[in-house]
A and B are shown apart, each in its own frame.
Chain A
């Protein structure tokens, strides 16, 4: 059976939720092989046992010193040795860079931001802000595919995968950049924006008051997003910006409150499964893509909705 390698994404010892999606895609294609680059692989492996994984390859080392270049170097060596039928990586910034470098190193084609990949390794992408669906496949080398979060419901099982330690020899040219310090994002109690299945976002219409947005987010167990107008004004941290130059999200539900829906904002959320908008302006472009829209003042609509959700939960 052909094997599909996927890169386990983790920060500060915690595996990203999207890794479960990669495992599910890998398993639907062939033998699913997780690759873990970590200083303490045991800590990471213990979090993988609910995913559909047949095998784990671990590479221990200090992977936080040189950035994406060293991981790409190591991963390319594993690909040469194991000859998988495909390699899956998450579509976050570092994931795409690793994928790009691995594609160059292994002489392989690359497809980024896929939202699906089938048994024949045909990928699905949603482009131009979700207006066009593209099916494509890599035809040279080992397909290197990056997948967006929230593309598939991860299948949870109990697996007891065989573990193989793999040794790599890093080239000097992958160690040219040195990381001297790191400040991880301070995690609040809310889910991570790129992982959340529900996102509630606020824009200029909040006028700087994100309380009703946060209250609805908490009632729904959602992450909080923001338009660039809101992050530029300093109303919400930049790390919460959704859009072309912020994060791309694709949750089950996206609620846009006081956001007009400029093309750059839509580029980051248009593939959400259900879109709800609250806007005072009946002509706001966000309404064109909303499945449900309330024309009204967010300061009335959001608290009323929040109260009703809390009341329902009893």
Chain B
């Protein structure tokens, strides 16, 4: 059986860059944008699933399986999409619309679920967290909206296309669990799962010819009032830069650094 896989990727401000708020939302215009680090692992895992289940070694080639990237974001999210295409995904869908600006996890998951519904996918793979929103809820919300199995925080994934089933090892604070489900399922993968490949020169050239389909909000069939800033689920009252931590004490160890450290802890009632 050939599998149709969708991978949700997000373009985010570079996590190395300083982030600022502008009018209650993250100022995205003035920072470099990159593919969310954690989504690279999702792309890599998708490629590995295809490769492990293909007669030929080459990803995608004649395997019958397909990998479609799905991203919601501004026009320039195509940069992040090209990167994931150059890793080896087949094609992409970008949902971009001014009405989507200011979307939170509820709106984002609604839009992504609506687009996923139209694609007849067997598996949807997400990262565990976007480095800007850091909510870690979109994959669970997509599963809820689609009424699909939720297999999230996977540290290992094993797919059996013939049985149309997937098994993961879920990695949590309290230990690991082996979970399985029939297709269709929503997965998210943790960063220990694999080592994402660097796009090869061949991959980068091939990506230029791959198709990115752009959808607007009306293509999804959702009303503008259901998403974006107008579907206000929560409101920011204020966002204030935290007063800088008072300049700390810095001392060079000249033989009694450990003792002075304890003096500090005692003074602060921490030891």
List chain A positions with a Cβ less than 8 A from chain B: 11-12, 67-69, 72, 92-94, 96-101, 103-105, 108-113, 122, 126-128, 130-141, 173, 176-185, 194, 198, 220, 238-239, 244-245, 247, 252-253, 263-264, 267, 274-276, 278, 282, 287, 289-297, 300-309, 312
Q: With A96-B136, A183-B176, A274-B270 given, is the CB distance from A69 to B144 under 8 Å? A: yes
Whether B134 lies near A113 (C-beta < 8 A) is: yes
CA distance A295 to B265 in the complex (A): 17
CA distance A275 to B138 in the complex (A): 32
Interface residues of B in 234-271 (CB under 8 A from A): 234-242, 245-246, 248-253, 256-262, 264-266, 268, 270-271
Q: With A109-B106, A184-B175, A302-B258 given, is the CB distance from A132 to B21 under 8 Å? A: yes
Whether A264 lies near B15 (C-beta < 8 A) is: yes
Whether B264 lies near A132 (C-beta < 8 A) is: no
Interface size class of B (residues with CB under 8 A): 35 or more
Whether A292 lies near B233 (C-beta < 8 A) is: no
A262: nearest chain-B partner, CB-CB: B16
B252 contacts which chain A residues (CB < 8 A)?
Answer: 282, 294-296
Whether B268 lies near A72 (C-beta < 8 A) is: no
B262: nearest chain-A partner, CB-CB: A308
Q: With A139-B233, A294-B251 given, is the CB distance from A274 to B268 under 8 Å? A: yes
Whether B153 lies near A93 (C-beta < 8 A) is: yes
Instruction: With a 10 A CB-CB cut-off, give which of A122, A131, A238 has the most chain B CB atoms.
Output: A131
Whether A101 lies near B257 (C-beta < 8 A) is: no
CA distance A92 to B173 in the complex (A): 7
Asked if B211 is at the interface (CB within 8 A of a chain A CB), the reply is: no
| Stretch among B89-97, B116-124, B178-186, B196-204 lining the A interface | B178-186
| Contact for B271 among A93, A128, A181, A220, CB less than 8 A | A220
B152 contacts which chain A residues (CB < 8 A)?
Answer: 68, 97
Asked if B52 is at the interface (CB within 8 A of a chain A CB), the reply is: no
Q: Would you call the interface of chain B mostly helix, strand, loop, or mixed?
A: mixed
B173 contacts which chain A residues (CB < 8 A)?
Answer: 92-93, 185, 194, 239, 247
* Number of A-B pairs, beta carbon distance below 8 Å: 258
B150 contacts which chain A residues (CB < 8 A)?
Answer: 67-69, 97, 176-177
| Cross-chain pairs A/B with CB under 8 angstroms, 30 sampled | A69-B150, A97-B136, A97-B137, A103-B141, A108-B233, A110-B234, A112-B137, A113-B134, A131-B242, A137-B234, A141-B233, A176-B147, A176-B150, A177-B149, A180-B167, A185-B175, A245-B191, A252-B270, A275-B248, A278-B261, A282-B252, A289-B245, A292-B248, A292-B249, A292-B264, A294-B251, A294-B260, A295-B253, A301-B257, A301-B258
From residue A213, how far is it (CB to closest CB) to chain B in Å? 13
Q: What are the nearest 9 A-B pairs in CB distance? A: A304-B258, A296-B253, A100-B137, A109-B233, A176-B149, A305-B258, A97-B140, A184-B175, A173-B147
Asked if B49 is at the interface (CB within 8 A of a chain A CB), the reply is: no
From residue A89, how far is it (CB to closest CB) to chain B in Å? 11
From residue A127, how far is it (CB to closest CB) to chain B in Å? 8
From residue A245, how far is it (CB to closest CB) to chain B in Å? 4
Whether B180 lies near A178 (C-beta < 8 A) is: yes
CA distance A77 to B206 in the complex (A): 50
From residue B109, how far is it (CB to closest CB) to chain A in Å? 7
Asked if B50 is at the interface (CB within 8 A of a chain A CB), the reply is: no
| Contact for B249 among A112, A267, A293, CB less than 8 A | A293
B249: nearest chain-A partner, CB-CB: A292
Q: With A67-B177, A110-B234, A295-B251 given, is the CB distance from A304 to B259 under 8 Å? A: yes
Whether A294 lies near B234 (C-beta < 8 A) is: no
Whether A303 lies near B258 (C-beta < 8 A) is: yes
